[in-house]
Amino acid sequence: MPEKSAIKQLITGEGAPLRSCHRPLRVVHLLHTVAYGGVETLVLNWARTLDPARVDVMIVCFANTDQSERPFEVAAERVGIQVKKIPWSRAKPVLRAARALSELLNDFGAEIVHTHNFYAEVVGWVAARKCGVKVMTTQYVWSDFGWKRNVQQWFAARLLRRFDMVTSQCETTMRDTIRHGVRAEIQSVLSSGIERVRDWPNLATRTAIRMKHGSGPDDIVLINVARLYPEKAHGLLLEWFAEIVRLRPYTKLWILGVGPLENALKEHTAALRIEQHVVFLGFLADLPPTLLSADIQVHSSYAEGIPLAICTGMAAGMPIVATAVGGVPEIVRHEKTGLLVKSGDGPAFVRETIRLIDDTSLREALGRQAREAAETELSLERSVSLLTSKYEVLVEQ
């Protein structure tokens, strides 16, 4: 078939599969993962929590030339989920990827494609139109990410107007999506949800974890959980932490996450002469024991939706200092479930962090209240119930 005809067929689609009412909805999650982070964790949490009698899930991701999707695959395998892959490269082969996805959709009998992030939206929309299935997406954050990603956002805003459903991780993101020209009628908020932390490390385990990472019982350990990407502002975090170390020399910083900035951040740490106080732990599949072995969670981003890392910290009862960006103030209430500062405000960040370092009772109170809020307002069960209802509404439209 000529390429022009192939493109037309991909976009218009023919022969939509008929749904049997005697089986669960079949949903394909499609994501382009280049560093394991909150989106990847969220997709796996949803996939393993959805009721299989109501929703049958397949997860598909892009096969990157550098195999950066591998940590996601490993994490999925660990919870018994197989991830399918479609071809991808720096050439951005949208049609080739869409054809491969179309084959998976047809073989699976999919009724919905649920996309995450820009290239997944493009490929998912083309394949969904070819196969005659519904297509939806979840939006996480709109911000100024530099010219390349800003161009992607410009195209995404126009493509999303053609989607059947658009969900946003928080109210802030949904308002931004509306401002980008996506009509409100197809939008709603879909909170991520986080499961309860049930296994708490005993004192011996906690001590062993701290010693493993070079922290003693009298140290105050700060922990940051985020992909190593520019919007997470790790460079600023390191500079602020250098000032904290000057004022409180017994503090340590554990940075958990992977991404393209790892080498640059390690060099920055050395330049600041705080390498004896900072440990880069990379990706950890079992986060709660390490999180609970620290004392304070810190988050320095300048752009966020609802960070799953903060949700996890709240579920674990961690006292949190975070920048008040995106949807963060929707879950962290200043002086109640954490402490908030303006984005980029280093003196305030240092001041509030030292306040927690010096006040054990405040750390305990904020952590306790954060955990209570997570269990009532951010439960994974509540999120999955809402997600299931959205799927059921979508296929009936």
Residue 18 DSSP label: P
Give the dihedral sign, CA 223/226/230/232.
negative
- 43: closest CA among 65, 75, 87? 75
DSSP 86-105: EE--TT--HHHHHHHHHHHH
Residue 5 three-state SS: helix
CATH numbers and ranges of domains, the chain: 3-193+380-396 (3.40.50.2000), 203-377 (3.40.50.2000)
d(CA 128, CA 106): 10
DSSP 137-155: EEE-------HHHHHHHHH
Residue 294 three-state SS: coil
Phi-psi region of 2 (alpha: psi -120 to 50; beta: other; left: phi over 0): beta
Burial class of residue 385, CB neighbours in 10 A (0-12, 13-18, 19+): middle
Q: At what angle do helices 118-131 and 147-160 cross, to 10 degrees?
A: 30
d(CA 370, CA 349): 19
One pLDDT digit (tens) per residue for the chain, 397 residues: 444 444 444 333 344 444 445 689 999 999 999 888 889 999 999 999 999 999 999 999 999 999 999 999 999 999 999 999 999 999 999 999 999 999 999 999 999 999 999 999 999 999 999 999 999 999 998 887 788 888 999 999 999 999 999 999 999 999 999 999 999 999 999 988 888 887 788 889 999 999 999 999 999 999 999 999 999 999 999 999 999 999 999 999 999 998 899 999 999 999 999 999 999 999 887 788 999 999 999 999 998 888 889 999 999 999 999 999 999 999 999 999 999 999 999 999 999 999 999 999 999 999 999 999 998 888 899 999 999 999 999 999 8
- 378: closest CA among 347, 333, 325? 333
Instruction: Supply the pLDDT for residue 94.
Output: 97
Burial class of residue 380, CB neighbours in 10 A (0-12, 13-18, 19+): buried
d(CA 67, CA 33): 10
pTM: predicted TM-score of the whole model, two decimal places: 0.82
Instruction: Supply the pLDDT for residue 8.
Output: 42
242 alpha-carbon distance from chain centroid? 27
Tokens representing 298 are 């810190």
